[in-house]
Amino acid sequence: MKAAAANLLAGNLVAFPTETVYGLGADATNSAAVARIYEVKGRPEDHPLIVHISSMQRLGDWADNIPEYAIKLARDFWPGPMTLVLKRSELAQDFITGGQNTVGVRVPNHVVARALLEAFENIGGKGVAAPSANRFGQVSPTTAAAVVDEIGEYLGSTDQIIDGGACAVGVESTIIDCTGDAPRILRPGAIATSMIEASTGHDCLDAHIKSIRVSGSLDNHYAPAAKVFLCEIPTVGQGFIALASIETPPGVIRLASPRDDNEFAQILYSALRQADIQGLAEVVVTQPIGIGIAVAIRDRLSRAANGR
């Protein structure tokens, strides 16, 4: 971790695991290093990045005018799969925020990520900017092998990929706009609406009013090369992802059979990748119903169905 932290401080890129997906990290105060993230990912420059820190005590480095309900959220759900969007401090420059006056910050809940962030901060680092470690708009990686497949050819000899096993959550963090009088979910994730409202004592504002650009908010995103169809009956030769309780029709290629919604989220991206590995042209997904993380799954799949 000390060597990887020094590599970040030297301006290189380090891909590392979090509980959600693998991130492609750079020193969040180094404009040249951050520019390489955009280059490797093929990411639009006005698309903001999330800053990862080791603890909520570091939040004041990056954000100003933090509302009390945001502090409650941080106390309840950090470290964890939640990103808070706040008014930015002077430390958060345009190359991190996409030119906006807000910044997204989170404390990940993964032993490797936390160790890396702590080691980086111990040698003077302030935070690590880290979007998902994939080409822009494509399926996020949840294993180190998937990172290699996605961006290995774009990394330099001094960049690193840290293997921390498969990610436990499997879909990206909940992004919460904390710049108003009450929280607003900008991207659903494992931290659900009911959890946010119970923590803050506020009803969440209308999620459809989104004036802030955030990661993963485009209509077409998280997409494999295969065409994704939702809630149709699969036919011969198509891939199929559905809960284990749903049978596979004859001639259909079963890609995943999760037992519940949490496992569905955990294996979703790897199953979509498997479709491309097997050279399938089409994948049918029977989406989970209900609330909680099922909302995040449906969000990702609706974007994947729109293609790249």
- Domain positions in the chain are 2-200, 227-304
pLDDT of the residue at 217: 67
Q: For position 307, what pLDDT does the model report?
A: 87
pLDDT digits 0-9 by tens, 187-231: 999 999 999 999 999 999 877 666 788 876 677 788 999 999 998
Model confidence pLDDT, tens digit, residues 29-43:
999 999 999 999 999
Reported as a pLDDT band with limits 50, 70 and 90, residue 96 is very high
Percentage of the chain beyond pLDDT 90 is 91
Domain 227-304 = CATH 3.40.50.720: no
Q: Which of 2, 191, 182, 46 is nearest to 107 (CA)?
A: 191
Tell me yes or no: is domain 2-200 CATH 2.60.40.1080: no
pLDDT at 64 over 90: yes
Spatial separation of the C-alpha atoms in residues 142 and 273, rounded to whole Å: 10
Distance CA 40, CA 30 (A): 16
Q: Which pTM value belongs to this model?
A: 0.95
- C-beta separation of 185 from 204 below 8 A: yes
Supply the pLDDT for residue 206: 78
